[in-house]
Homo-oligomer: A and B are copies of this chain.
């Protein structure tokens, strides 16, 4: 089966999703929606190397009616409030949705009302809605939850992601406050501008998967101060300036911490890694030195989840509800391709 896909949102993540989707024989990109770049071709905006006759439109309703895609790959924003009307409109037009919106990855606790409305609407229209990505969506929720399958009991779950932001996109470096002064950092945090979105959602997903009833979820953000000068392709951080942030999400039962998610992203991080630490029977620590490349992985999650979403029951689902996605074969590269060794 070939899935007919509408790309909704053609920023850096959306374009990365498009480039990946183009390598998959099961996927046909039939349309694209964005507020900028209107009228330009998707091939040009996403810098595709293979031809694609799709122009970018700013009229999602018209495009949805005209093309009737099987599924929309949606990458326009983090906040569920901001994207709610977009998701609503897609679902009302009978298309399935995979969105990289962080708050959509597990919205039942932080945005219960919007979650209930999306769920009801998706069921009514017989389509499935999923929020996913590498984080939230995988490294700090699905993965730790997955690893508990081998546990007779679990007492505490920790996930750690330490990223060297030097290699990431400029929007990412800005999102973590790199290059600001400590005072500016505090102000930006206070105003809600500096924050990795998704930790409370990940805490809530883990708790739900383990059937733990949390009394609270807390979150704190601290700056990481540069000791030495650090330069990236995009900006320079002087000693005493902010190199990035440490953000900790906690799930609490009474006064006791039972889930801890530690997210550190700063330019010049010297030990980037991803880890899952389970205290339980058995307990263990799984670690990926160097960590998983965020931008590559988020595009992969969105694309690899397509078959699972297409096969899912209707409604708003989360990663913990679906059989785990696996990498889907490429057209030309790797063992799954038609040309491999043949």
Contacts and interface: CB of A to CB of B under 8 A. Distances in A.
Interface of A: 20, 23, 134, 138-139, 142-143, 145-146, 148-156, 209-212, 253-256, 258, 280-282, 284-293, 296-297, 299-301, 303-305, 320-330, 333-336, 340-342
A157 to B, nearest CB: 9
The 9 closest A-B pairs by CB, nearest first: A150-B297, A148-B327, A282-B293, A254-B341, A151-B327, A258-B335, A209-B326, A149-B325, A212-B335
Contacts of A323: 320-324
A138 B212 CA distance: 23
A333 B289 CA distance: 33
A22 B43 CA distance: 59
Contact of A336 (B212, B281, B286, B341): B212
A178 B92 CA distance: 64
Contacts of A329: 210-212
Contact of A23 (B143, B152, B328): B152
Nearest to A295: B282
10 contacts: A23-B152, A150-B300, A152-B299, A152-B300, A152-B303, A153-B333, A154-B334, A210-B327, A280-B334, A323-B323
Contacts of A326: 145-146, 148-149, 209-210, 320
Contacts of A148: 304, 326-327
A305 B145 CA distance: 13
Nearest to A155: B334
Given A292-B284, A296-B281, A146 B341 contact: no
Contacts of A20: 152
A209 B304 CA distance: 11
A320 B324 contact: yes
A327 B296 contact: no
Given A149-B326, A153-B330, A327-B149, A282 B256 contact: no
Contacts of A145: 324, 326
A340 to B, nearest CB: 6
Contacts of A258: 335
Contact of A287 (B149, B287, B303, B336): B287
